A and B are shown apart, each in its own frame.
Chain A
Amino acid sequence: MTDKNLNLDHIIPEDAREPSLVPAPAAALASLVVPGLGQALTRSVRRGLILFFSFLTVVGLILWRFTLAAPRDTGWWDIFKKGLYLDPFLIVVSFLFAILYLWIAFDAYSLARDRQNTPLGVFVFLAIMFFALGWQIGKINLYSFVTNADEALPALGRVGWPWEKAISYESVIFQAEADIEIPCSETPPAVNVVTDEPTLVSSPTCGILSVQEGEPGSELHLEGYNFSPGIEVNIMWKDPIGNEFRQRQGGKYVIIIPDENGYFETDIIMPYRLLPPSATEPTYIWNVFARQVAERGKAKLSDDFKKIVEKMIETIFIGMMATFFGIIFALPVSFLAARNLMSASWVTLLMYYLVRAILNIIRSIEPIIWAIIAVIVVGLGPFAGILALVLHSIAALGKLYSEAIESIDPGPIEAIQATGANWLQTVIYAVIPQIVPPFVSFTIYRWDINVRMSTIIGLVGGGGIGFLLIQYIRILDYRSAGMCVWFIAITVAILDYVSAEIRARFT
C-alpha cells in the first residue's frame, strides 16, 4: 500500500505502527462476538470503540422501531415477524443491519492483516445504515406522492389558481307572469305580447283548478321568451291572496331550461284548489309565472376575497406595530448591550453581560413559541401576535443596534469635539450619521421579517392572515386558502423588494 521510498512514519498514527495482537481470523471472530472488539485487538482501540458504540446505537434504534411497529406483540420473534409484516421498510433496515454486523467483522479481519490499511468502507456503510433508519423514522414515503395524487391534485390546483373565488356575481331575478282566470268567463285576460323583456305567454288564459281526489284541472301551454339561456326556470303560481307556490307535475317541481335564444315551452296541468269551495267568488285571477335566478349581475369581489385582503392588511400592520414597539424598546436596550459604552466600570459591565444574556435567550426562542405563550396570556387575536413579535424584535434589534453602536468610529467624534462643538453637536454630527444608516437598514429588514413571521404566527391564533389560512384549510376551502397563500407570497415579494431598495439607500 505504501511506497517504500517515502517515509510516511510521521503521518501514520502511532497506534498503527505496531502489528496486530491477534491473527486476522481471530480478530474477525472477536468482532462477531463483540462488534469492535476485533479492531481493539488489532490495536485500533479508538476505531473499535467508535464501531462498538455505533453498533449499540443502531441496535437500540432498530429495537425501538420494531417495538413501535408491533406494539401489541410480546416475544422478540413475534415482534420481529409482525414488524417486518406491518412495515416492509424494516426488511431493508434488517438486511442492512446484517451486512453491517458482518462488515465490522470483515473490517477487523482486514485490519489485522494490514495494520496500515484503514479503509473507510465500514464507516460509509454505517452512514448508510443511519440514513436507512432515518428514512424509516421519518416515515418517508415517496410512493405517497403517486397514491395520493388523485386527491391531492384537484386541491392543489385550487390552491394554485384560486381566483374564481375572488369574484362573485350579484344574483338577478328574471321573472314573467301571465294572468289566468278561474274559471273561464266570456272575457278571459288578454294574451301577453312578446317584448324584449322576459315574457310568459299562456294559452289559454283561463281554466279550472284540479280537485283533490277528483278531476284534473285544465291544461295550459306555456311559452317563455327572452329568459337567460341555459339557466333553470321555475314555474310558480300566485293565488289571489298572494301565496306563492311552485308548480308540480307528477310529484316533482317543474323546472325547464331555456334554449340558446332564451325560449322555452311546456304544458302544465293547473294546480289544486286550496281554498274551500264555499269561499269562492264566481271568478278569480290567478297568476302563473316563470322565475329564473341567474348569477348574471355585476361582478363583484367575493366576501372571502375581501376578508383575505382585510386580514392581509391586518398582517402587515401587525408586523409594523411589532417593529415599531420593537424599535422603541430595543433602542434603550441596545445602549445597555453595547460593550464600548458599558465597559466603564464593573457594575455596567455586569449589566452588559446580563442584558446580552437575556437578549440571547429571548432571541433563541422562536416567535411562534412566544405567540403560543402570548395567546395564553392575552387571548386569540392580533394583539397576541404583536406581543410575540415585539419580544423577538426587541431581542434581535437590540443585538443588531448594539453591534452598530459598538462599531462606531471614534475618530469623527474626536475630530468634531476638537472643533469646539458641544456635546449635542457632537452627537448630531458625529454619532447619529454613523448609527442611523445601520439602524434604518436593520429596522426595515426586521419589518420585513416581522410581516413574514406574522403570517406564521396567525396559525397559532396570533391574528392576521395566518389565522384565516388555517381556518380555510380546516374547512377544506382550498380556493380561499390558495388566495391567502397568493396574497402572502405577493406581499412578501413586494416587501422584500422595497426593503432591499431602502436598505441599499442607507449603506
Chain B
Amino acid sequence: MLEVRHLTKIYDDGTQALKDVSFSVPDGEFMVVIGLSGSGKSTMLRCINRLIDPTEGEIIWDGVDLAQLKGDDLRNARRKIGMIFQHFNLVKRSHVLTNVLTGRLGYTSSWNSLLGRFSSQDKEKALVALKRLGILEQAYKRADELSGGQQQRVGVARALMQDPKMILADEPVASLDPVLAHSIMQYLEMLNKEDGMTMICSLHYLDLVQRYSTSVIGLKDGELVYEGGKDDILAMTDEQFKNIYGEEAERVGSGLEGNLQANAGGVA
C-alpha cells in the first residue's frame, strides 16, 4: 500500500509543480496518472522514488516514509521500485545485456562494480528477463542499435531485474507508435497481473487508460483534480476525459483491436 499525503514540490526556480497531492494505491493496483504536459506527472513519479526531493508531504510505503529516507535506506527502498522512462534512458553505447544488468546494481557491491562484475546468477536472470520480453537475440547488441520498441523492452527488463514490488512508468509509450504502445503496455500488464507488481503509470491516450488501468488520478497544474476506479474510467466519455486532460487527449485508434489480440497471444 502506497499512501501519498500532502505532497508538495516547489522547484528551486519557484515553480510549484505539485500542490498538496494526496492519494493511495493499494498493492497490485494498475494506477494511471493523467494530466496535461506540465501538470506535474513526472515530478510526482520522481518524488516517489526520490529522484526529486519533495518539498513537503509524506510518501508512506509499507509503513515507511520514503520522503524521509537517506543513504543506504533510500537505495534499498529504490531497489524495490522499478522505473520506466519515456525516452528509455538506456546507456546507448553499452550492450543491451549490460543495460539490463544495471538493474542489479542495488544488489551489487561497489567493489564488484569497480571491476565491472556481476554474479553469474544475475547474468542468468538478465537473459531470462530478456527472453521473457522477447529480445534475447539482441542481448549483445549496442542499445542504440535497437528500435524504439525494443529499447523500451530493455528498459522494462532493467526494471524487472530489481525484483521490484512497484513500477513507476513515466509515459512509457509516448515515444512509440500505437502498435508498439500496446505491446509495451501488455508487458506492464503482465508484470502487474502475473507478478503482482503495483503499477503507477502516466499515460496520454484514453483508450490505453480504459484498457489497462484499474484506477486513475488526474493532475492539473500540480493539483489532484480527479480520482476514479475501473468503472468510472470505462464509463468516461471522450468529453469528460478531455475536460480533465485538456485538448491533447487522443485515442490510439480503434482499428488496432485485431492486432492487439494477435499480440496478446504472442505475449502470453
Binding site for B on A (CB under 8 A): 409, 411-412, 414-422, 424-425, 428-430, 433-434, 437
Contacts and interface: CB of A to CB of B under 8 A. Distances in A.
A414 B102 CA distance: 12
A414 B51 contact: yes
A440 to B, nearest CB: 11
A420 B83 contact: no
Contact of A428 (B49, B116, B161): B116
Contacts, number: 85
B93 A420 contact: no
Contacts of A419: 78-79, 82-83, 102-106, 158-159, 161-162
Interface of B: 49, 51, 75-79, 81-83, 85, 87-94, 98, 102-108, 110, 113-114, 116, 155, 158-159, 161-162
A416 B102 contact: yes
A411 B102 CA distance: 14
Contacts of B159: 419
B135 to A, nearest CB: 17
B195 to A, nearest CB: 17
10 contacts: A409-B92, A414-B89, A416-B102, A416-B105, A418-B49, A418-B83, A420-B75, A420-B78, A430-B91, A433-B91
B225 to A, nearest CB: 27
Nearest to A416: B102
Contact of A429 (B77, B83, B105): B105
Contact of A425 (B51, B82, B113): B113
B85 A422 contact: no
A428 B51 CA distance: 19
Contacts of A424: 110, 113-114
A421 B75 contact: yes
Most A CB atoms within 10 A — which of B77, B104, B106? B106
Contacts of B90: 412, 415
Contacts of A417: 51, 78
Given A415-B83, A415-B85, A428-B114, A421 B106 contact: yes
Contacts of A412: 89-92
B91 A422 contact: no
A58 to B, nearest CB: 58
Contacts of A430: 91, 102
Contacts of B92: 409, 412
Most A CB atoms within 10 A — which of B75, B79, B88, B107? B75
A53 to B, nearest CB: 51
Contact of A422 (B75, B82, B87, B94): B75
A157 B137 CA distance: 61
A174 B81 CA distance: 93
Contact of A418 (B76, B78, B108): B78
Given A415-B158, A416-B105, A429-B102, A422 B89 contact: no
Most B CB atoms within 10 A — which of A411, A420, A437? A420
B85 A420 contact: no
A415 B162 contact: no
B87 A420 contact: no
Contacts of A415: 83, 85, 89-90, 102, 155, 158
A125 to B, nearest CB: 57
Contacts of B91: 412, 416, 429-430, 433-434
B116 A420 contact: no
A420 B79 contact: yes
A437 B114 CA distance: 18
B51 A418 contact: yes
A425 B102 CA distance: 9
Most A CB atoms within 10 A — which of B77, B82, B108, B161? B108
Nearest to B168: A418
A421 B102 CA distance: 8
Nearest to B113: A425
